[in-house]
Amino acid sequence: MRRLVAETRLTVDDLVAPLFVREGISEPAPIESLPGVVQHTRESLRREVAELAALGVPGVILFGVPADKDDQGSGAWDPDGIVQLALGDLRAEVGGDVVLMADLCLDEYTSHGHCGLIGSNGDVDNDATLELYRRVAVAQADAGADVCAPSGMMDGQVGAIRGALDGAGATDVAILAYAAKYASSLYGPFRDAVGVEISGGNGVAGDRRGYQQDWHNARESLVEVRADVTEGADMVMVKPALSYLDVIAATRETVDVPLAAYHVSGEYAMVHAAAQRGWVDLDAVALEQISAIRRAGADFVLTYFARHLAELLTVGGQR
């Protein structure tokens, strides 16, 4: 009876796996603050994505960890940059069986850890950054990405990327816009995974409050979401997920494009930390949390639990 009347179902079709690929390592490297997640080599990434495909996971999103960073983040658009090489590998490995998404940002590649170019006043220069994002989009499309997912929260980024992709003939490459992305304290383990320390200038720690959203605000998200759809976003995302279920629900009411939500690194790490102490049941909490994100209105969820949930759901059917 419960199965018959369930309003929300979670299936493997709802999951996207975030994956890290690191340049210049010969063995996968565990990430201490993200139990079960590794920085992949090109070869281990290829195997992981083949296994995810066999489990029926429909999409992955790639993040690169370059061997060297510079003040512009040039590894992000280098045709031989780690994500571009990995996209080529994966296209050859899985063909069209898995949607290949590429996170489109500079922070993994910049020496200062910001998502954009630093201007002469020490702040991120929005419009100069858009020029670099255009290069990244074309490089990712050339390498075989199905979807570019701009996560830097620069104003006008979706329009700029759409223009660059179309200009390069990549009219089929879709855009998943990180539309409502908050300046959250839940990204810490991710920053460990990609080796990012945000500089505030003069040797002090910085933050992203200049370009990511203030978590006091919800209506502001709808302004961001509408702007991204107007600029050509094919899908939009809310991030993080659990502290923003109201924003997910409001976004679902506001636009008709597919809606994603990102269950981020800190959300995942907290479940693991509590489960390790025996304080919560990992599988039960993972199913409850990711289902709640679906219940709030997300069509699909980016989650580090993707593989584990795919295994649970493949055995247990939909939950």
Please list the active-site residues: 181, 239
- Name which of 18 and 93 has its Cβ closer to ligand PBG: 18
Which regions of 105-253 does DSSP assign to beta strands (E)?
A: 147-150, 174-181, 235-239
CA nearest to 123, candidates 210, 58, 205, 196: 210
- Minimum CB distance to ligand PBG, residue 273 (Å): 15
What CA–CA distances, in Å, run from 158 to 137, 182, 254?
10, 17, 18
As given in the structure block, the two tokens for residue 110 are 């910049």
Amino acid letter, 265: S
- Name which of 34 and 296 has its Cβ closer to ligand PBG: 34
- Name which of 43 and 70 has its Cβ closer to ligand PBG: 70
d(CA 286, CA 283): 5
- Name which of 61 and 141 has its Cβ closer to ligand PBG: 61
- Name which of 98 and 106 has its Cβ closer to ligand PBG: 106
Contact 286, 271 (CB under 8 A): yes
Give me the residue label for tokens 């269950």.
263
What CA–CA distances, in Å, run from 139 to 12, 75, 117, 136?
30, 10, 18, 5
- Minimum CB distance to ligand PBG, residue 115 (Å): 6
As given in the structure block, the two tokens for residue 303 are 């989650």
d(CA 211, CA 68): 25
CA-based max dimension of the chain: 64
- Name which of 90 and 269 has its Cβ closer to ligand PBG: 269
d(CA 318, CA 6): 11
Beta-bridged to residue 16, according to DSSP, are: 59, 302
**Number of residues assigned to the chain:** 319
Query: Where on the chain is the footprint of ligand PBG (CB under 6 A)?
Result: 103, 105, 107, 115, 151, 187, 190-191, 208, 264-265
